[in-house]
Structure 1
Amino acid sequence: MADLPLVLLHAFPVDARMWRPLRDGLTARHRLITPDQRGLGRTPLPETDREPTLDDAARDVIALLDKLELEQVVLGGCSMGGYVTMAVLRAAPERVAGLVLIDTKATADTPEAAQARRDLAGRAEAEGVGGWLAEAMLPNLVSASTRETRPDVVESLRGLIDSQQGAGVAWAARAMAARPDSTELLTAADVPAVVIVGEEDGLTPPDAAQALAEALPKGELVVVPQAGHLTPLEAPAMVSEAILGWWPFG
Structure 2
Amino acid sequence: MLIPGTLCDERLWSPQIAALTGHAEIVVPRVDASDDLDAIARDVIAQAPWQSFSLAGLSMGGILAMAVMRQAPQRVARLALLNTNPFGEAAERQALREDDLRKAREMGLERYAREVLAPLYPALGQPQDPRHTELVVAMARDAGLETFRRQSMALRDRPDASRRLGEIGCPTLVLCGDGDQLCPLSRHTYLAEQIAGAELTVLPGIGHLSTLQAPSAVNAALARWLELPASI
- TM-score of the alignment, normalized to the shorter chain, above 0.5: yes
1:111 aligns with 2:91: yes
The answer for unaligned runs of 5 or more in structure 2 is none
* Equivalent position SS for 1:11: coil
CA distance in 2, matches of 1:165, 1:219: 36
1:22 aligns with 2:16: yes
1:142-167 deviation per Cα after TM superposition (whole angstroms, max 9, x unaligned): 2256635x322222223222332101
The answer for unaligned runs of 5 or more in structure 1 is 1-6, 39-44, 47-51
1:9-53 deviation per Cα after TM superposition (whole angstroms, max 9, x unaligned): 001122222111221212232111112322xxxxxx57xxxxx21
Equivalent residue in structure 2 for 1:76, among 56, 64, 68:
56
- Structure 1 counterpart of 2:217, which letter? M
For residues 249 and 32 of structure 1, do their structure 2 counterparts lie closer, same or farther at Cα, with a shift above 3 Å needed?
Answer: farther
1:93 aligns with 2:73: yes
1:77-127 deviation per Cα after TM superposition (whole angstroms, max 9, x unaligned): 000001111111111111111110000011111101112223223444566
* TM norm structure 1: 0.85
Q: Match for residue 9 of structure 1?
A: 3
Considering only aligned residues, what root-mean-square deviation do their CA atoms show, in Å? 1.9
**What pairs with 1:100-249 in structure 2 (closer than 5 Å)?**
100-124=80-104, 128-144=108-124, 147-148=127-128, 150-247=129-226, 248-249=228-229
For residues 122 and 20 of structure 1, do their structure 2 counterparts lie closer, same or farther at Cα, with a shift above 3 Å needed?
Answer: same
C-alpha deviation, 1:222, in angstroms? 0.4
Give the aligned length.
Answer: 229
- Structure 2 counterpart of 1:90, which letter? R
CA distance in 1, matches of 2:215, 2:195: 24
Query: What percentage of aligned pairs have identical amino acids?
Result: 31
CA distance in 2, matches of 1:146, 1:237: 19
Structure 1's consecutive aligned runs of 4 or more residues displaced over 4 angstroms after TM superposition are: 125-128
CA distance in 2, matches of 1:178, 1:82: 16
